[in-house]
Chains A and B, each alone.
Chain A
Amino acid sequence: MKLTIVTAIAGLLVVVVILELLRRRQLREKYAVLWLVVGLIVVPLGAFPKMLDSVATTAGVRSGVSLVLFLGFVFLLLVCIHLSWESSRLEEETRSLAEEVALIRTQLAEQERTAAIALIRTESAERERAND
């Protein structure tokens, strides 16, 4: 009976934390949905651990709890892969941005230099005209 309570509380905690993060705009909706779904699955399972036993038996797993454990592991693995993928994409994006910034600054410096040279030229031309 204790296990049921612990699981249910853990599930509720997840849901509450997610909702709070969402409320403070600290979490993108696309991730929030995922974790809310997880929380909503865990809470009833905590209350009724025998719920999945029939499904587990059909799948050849002795108890529903083991099945949940296994699926949870697979799920977390997939989430990790997804995060690696996302961070690879982000790295590529920040890399492009860094290059873009460097390129723009180089162009800016070059323009400033040509402008400065042009200014010096017109000034010296004017000075010569004044001297004449």
Chain B
Amino acid sequence: MINNKRVLIIIPAWNESASIADVIREVRGELPEVDLLVVDDGSTDDTAKVARAAGATVSRLPYNLGVGGAMRLGYRYAYENDYDVAIQIDADGQHDPRYVPKLVDHLDEASLVIGARFAGEGDYTVRGPRKWTMVMLSGVLSRMAKTKLTDTTSGFRACNRDIIRLFAEWYPVEYLGDTVETTVRVIRLKHKVIQVPVAMRARQAGTPSHSPAKAMVYLGRAFITLLLAIARR
């Protein structure tokens, strides 16, 4: 419970046995009053076992569906178990659970609250095509949302009951759909979206992709995802 609201933290995890236990322990330590659901997206390592041992409820998908599939399962769980607030956190330790109460507080003003880098706190930086992508996405989405959104691909977000219900039945599986497309949809359904500055940490396990070619592909995909999201009914 945070502010008398039943809060569920959803952690999608795919082969994250190296970092998942630490993330769970940290969330448990910082926020003992919230429930924790780890969605194991068909991992081939012992992510589910490690997560269960660390004290989380674990939902295990029979095969890998991608972040979108894992997230929809998380929201379905939140919807069926009647939670007031659902919050996504990455399994790689980038998101600091100490910001969770801050996100929940801002749900009084909006239906979806994005924990954003590049918004004052923290010193996370990107360059090149990756930066252009973020500039383009945040430009378009800020205009649509009529508020400043600087980090639209952030997976650190909190939402209220209305959005839980929406995401429980509709959540895209495609890459970037889980962040960009969902945001566009939420805005177009006339829900308020805002961002709250958070500091992000370096990931504790796994490596980010840094090659310029990949970054260009990323830009292209972001562009297509955005166009489709806007064109879709």
A-B contact number at CB 8 A: 35
Q: Given that A106-B57, A110-B57 are contacting pairs, would A101 and B77 also be in contact in the complex, using a CB cutoff of 8 Å? A: no
**Chain B residues positioned under 8 Å from A110 (CB to CB):** 57
A71-100 near B? 1/0 per residue, CB < 8 Å: 000000000000000000000000100110
A119 at the interface (CB under 8 A from B): no
Alpha-carbon gap, A98 to B76, bound state (A): 12
Partner of B65, one of A95, A103, A105: A95
**Contact between B77 and A95 (Cβ–Cβ < 8 Å)?**
no
Q: What's the nearest-Cβ distance from chain B to residue A40, in Å? A: 40
B11 at the interface (CB under 8 A from A): no
B: number of interface residues (CB 8 Å): 17
**Chain B residues positioned under 8 Å from A105 (CB to CB):** 59-60
**Chain A residues positioned under 8 Å from B65 (CB to CB):** 95, 98-99
**Chain A residues positioned under 8 Å from B173 (CB to CB):** 95
**Chain A residues positioned under 8 Å from B60 (CB to CB):** 102, 105-106
Alpha-carbon gap, A105 to B52, bound state (A): 14
**Contact between B57 and A98 (Cβ–Cβ < 8 Å)?**
no
Q: What's the nearest-Cβ distance from chain B to residue A132, in Å? A: 35
B61 at the interface (CB under 8 A from A): yes
**Contact between A101 and B62 (Cβ–Cβ < 8 Å)?**
yes
B93 at the interface (CB under 8 A from A): no
Q: Given that A95-B69, A95-B173 are contacting pairs, would A102 and B63 also be in contact in the complex, using a CB cutoff of 8 Å? A: no
**Contact between B77 and A106 (Cβ–Cβ < 8 Å)?**
yes
B75-90 near A? 1/0 per residue, CB < 8 Å: 0110010000000000
B176 at the interface (CB under 8 A from A): no
Alpha-carbon gap, A110 to B35, bound state (A): 13
Partner of A99, one of B37, B57, B58, B73: B73
**Contact between B62 and A103 (Cβ–Cβ < 8 Å)?**
no
**Contact between A103 and B77 (Cβ–Cβ < 8 Å)?**
yes
B72 at the interface (CB under 8 A from A): yes
**Contact between A102 and B57 (Cβ–Cβ < 8 Å)?**
no
Closest to A96 in B: B72
Q: What's the nearest-Cβ distance from chain A to residue B139, in Å? A: 31
Closest to A92 in B: B173
**Contact between A99 and B80 (Cβ–Cβ < 8 Å)?**
no
B163-207 near A? 1/0 per residue, CB < 8 Å: 000000000010000000000000000000000000000000000
Alpha-carbon gap, A101 to B76, bound state (A): 12
**Contact between B57 and A103 (Cβ–Cβ < 8 Å)?**
no
Alpha-carbon gap, A82 to B60, bound state (A): 32
Q: What's the nearest-Cβ distance from chain B to residue A16, in Å? A: 37
Give the B-binding residues of A (Cβ under 8 A): 95, 98-99, 101-103, 105-106, 110
Pull 13 A–B residue pairs with CB atoms less than 8 Å apart, ordered by A: A95-B173, A98-B65, A98-B69, A99-B65, A99-B72, A102-B59, A102-B62, A102-B73, A103-B59, A103-B76, A103-B80, A106-B58, A106-B59
Give the A-binding residues of B (Cβ under 8 A): 37, 39, 57-63, 65, 69, 72-73, 76-77, 80, 173
Closest A-B pairs by Cβ, 3 of them: A106-B59, A99-B73, A102-B59
Given contacts A98-B63, A102-B60, A106-B77, 7 further A-B contacts (CB under 8 A): A98-B61, A98-B65, A99-B73, A102-B73, A106-B58, A106-B59, A106-B60
